[in-house]
Amino acid sequence: MDRRDFLKALGLTATVSGAGALLAACNANEQSGAGGAVAVSRGGTLYVLYDVTSIRLDPAKSQNLAITTISLLHRRLTAWKTSADGPATVVPDLATDTGRASADGKTWTFTLKDGLKMADGTPITSAEIKYGIERSFDPAFSGGLGYHKTLLEGASGYQGPFKSGDLASIETPDPKTIVFHLARPYGDWPWIASMPAFAPVPKGKGTDANYDASPVASGPYVVAENTKGVRLRLTRNPNWNAQSDPARSGLPDAVVIQLGQDTGVMSQRLLASQGNDAYAFGANFVNPAQLAQIRSNPAAKNQLVTSKSGALAYLALNTKRGPLANPKVRQAFQYAVDKTAYQIATAGSADLAGPIATTLITEGIAGREKFDLYPAPPGGDVAKAKQLLTEAGFPNGLDNLDFPVSTSNNDADKAQALQAALQRAGIRTKLRPLDDDAWTAVVTGNDGAYDLTLGSWQPDFPSANANIQPLFGTSEIGNGGYNLSRYSVPEVDALIEQAQGTVDQQAAGKLWAKADKRILQDSPVIPLIYTRNSFLHGAKVGDFVIGEFPAYPNYLQMGLAK
């Protein structure tokens, strides 16, 4: 799935393209990173302003992250703990721990906490979790994050409990124990167990599409109203036990998500903080055109929060096409690009856009190592680029490289900035504007008929695994995969498999850092920046924190002033 801006996965926008909005790092988490100026208490109604007309609430269909909307309703075996001061960590949620692996890393066992109940009074047992996961395989309820579907043993061809019956690789030996048998060792299974499909579903529920509108909740809230294009209103779940839940504060009495909002008006409302807007926040990025004004407004200082960094923006080079098959040619691009020009094209200035990137693993991911294999000034090193092209046999540069680019948001402006920079080194490109669907079809299809393109990626879960494998594994070339550089190196595939199978996360992190460096030696992509995200909230909203990962506020921890 498209992660060029990582929005669809969060349920934060109606599309998956475009740059979003960014703000200077000096204001990152300034209002509430250390507790903030707003003293919060239990009670009140939190309002969320949102430009989409509906939200996926069925855990089988959801691509929400573990800190956003769906987790107000659904708990899973594990959850995320985010912090402005360090990487995200996995914590127990419905389970007593984050899972116990067998020696070979292929079997994972979880034990459930005592006294857990669904909102309808159904006890949460291993059977409800197994049923929920099995249900996610049914084609009628597809669309959610599906990492587990390729990892569970015997899952190939399985079509859910209604068509295929029991999935033997998920065992429930007793009501409190659930055991997963994987097809191969996989050290990140505790993160997989935090995904929406691992939410419990009562047996016999969720048999039709209507479940998406009002699912049975296990989190602090239940659906009280769901009117498409108008509002989603959540009220307290009387069966939620705050003491057993380390991920959710559950402070507001209710959460009202106002749908179909105008993003331009949204910022004005939040800054004014009149009436209910004082208790609201915007789920969409701040519009780049409004950032300069907001930034210069002293009254807005405590209402605007910005991530330290975010998704990796990069230029992908098709390693299967003509001269780009030569690693030295690709390395020339590392010096030819002007990353400062890219920053300005993204958000008007370098500090608004986000810091310059030199690695594939994004900031805020445990185990990430900072390095730069191609040191150059931010504006590039044209002489070095020309030298490498000459050594590769192209002293006159390159002509007519096909550069498809999405017309959504300002991707075309960013591509033009790169085009101008590359031309300085004699690399001449031809931009091919496409609407977002057409662009996606070209770059993720099987033909690979293009030379270079822009991409952006932030993982679905806080592991370098989700940085590296989706973008550089051979299995992700074509067929809708996002290996946009068509990069296929057996040594790297073997390293990915080794890292995925390593249960010890510190040891796995070293392997992923090794993979990061090994891939960049071949230069299939040019890291550009780690894009920043900025959000506004009303004056009465506190504990509004953006962690090091992901670059979005944690919906589950916010509270309100009296």
> Looking at residue 465, what is its pLDDT?
96
Q: What are the two backbone dihedrals, phi and then psi, of residue 441, each rounded to the nearest 5 degrees?
A: -60, -40
Domain positions in the chain:
57-218, 312-530
CA distances from 115 to 77, 122, 196 (A): 15, 11, 21
What is the share, in percent, of the chain residues with pLDDT greater than 70?
93
**Mean pLDDT in residue range 427-438:** 96
pLDDT tens-digit series, residues 165-204: 999 999 999 999 999 999 999 999 999 999 999 999 999 9
The pLDDT-based confidence of 288 (bands split at 50, 70, 90) is low
Q: Cβ distance 15 to 29 under 8 Å?
A: no
Q: Of 331, 343, 308, nearest to 33 (Cα)?
A: 308
Which tokens belong to 441? Answer: 């079809």
Which tokens belong to 195? Answer: 């995904």
Give the DSSP letter string of 159-226: --HHHH---TTEEEEETTEEEEEBSS--TTHHHHTTSGGGS---TT---SGGGGTSPPP-SSEEEEEE
**Mean pLDDT in residue range 120-149:** 96
pLDDT tens-digit series, residues 448-502: 999 999 999 989 999 999 999 999 999 999 999 999 999 999 999 999 999 999 9
Structural Rg of the chain based on CA atoms? 23
Q: Which range has the worst mean pLDDT, 6-15, 248-257, 359-368?
A: 6-15
Q: Which residue has the tokens 């597809």?
A: 142
CA distances from 508 to 98, 176, 225, 523 (A): 17, 30, 44, 23
Sheet order of strands, 312-317 included: 452-457, 312-317, 525-530
Four-point Cα dihedral 125, 127, 133, 137, nearest 10: -160
> Looking at residue 256, what is its pLDDT?
98
pTM of the predicted structure, to 2 decimals: 0.90
CATH fold for the domain made of 57-218 = D-Maltodextrin-Binding Protein; domain 2 (3.40.190)
CB count in 10 Å sphere of residue 314: 23
Q: Which residue has the tokens 């490289």?
A: 401
Q: Cβ distance 443 to 404 under 8 Å?
A: yes
- Sign for the CA dihedral angle at 326, 332, 337, 339 comes to positive
Q: Which residue has the tokens 């915007």?
A: 282
Confirm or reject CATH 2.60.40.10 for domain 312-530, answering yes or no.
no
Which tokens belong to 332? Answer: 């020339």
> Looking at residue 349, what is its pLDDT?
81
Q: Is residue 62 scored above 90 in pLDDT?
A: yes
Q: Which residue has the tokens 């430009």?
A: 51
Q: Of 132, 141, 281, nearest to 218 (Cα)?
A: 132
In eight-state DSSP terms, residue 529 is: E
Which tokens belong to 270? Answer: 């939040």
If 0-12 CB within 10 Å is exposed, 13-18 middle and 19+ buried, where does residue 498 land?
Answer: middle
Q: Is residue 290 scored above 90 in pLDDT?
A: no
pLDDT tens-digit series, residues 107-134: 999 999 999 999 999 999 999 999 999 9
Q: Is residue 12 scored above 70 in pLDDT?
A: no
Q: What angle do CA 23, 552, 54 make, to 5 degrees?
A: 115
Four-point Cα dihedral 439, 287, 529, 412, nearest 10: 40
Instruction: For residue 465, give the 3-state DSSP assignment.
Output: helix
* H/E stretch holding 460: none
The pLDDT-based confidence of 1 (bands split at 50, 70, 90) is very low
**Mean pLDDT in residue range 249-271:** 95
> Looking at residue 13, what is its pLDDT?
32
Residues 6+ apart with CB under 8 A from 335: 374, 376, 380, 381, 382, 384, 385, 388, 425
Q: Taking each helix axis from N to C terminus, what angle separates 382-391 and 327-336, rounded to the nearest 10 degrees?
A: 170
Q: Is residue 46 scored above 50 in pLDDT?
A: yes
pLDDT tens-digit series, residues 331-358: 999 999 999 999 999 888 888 889 999 9
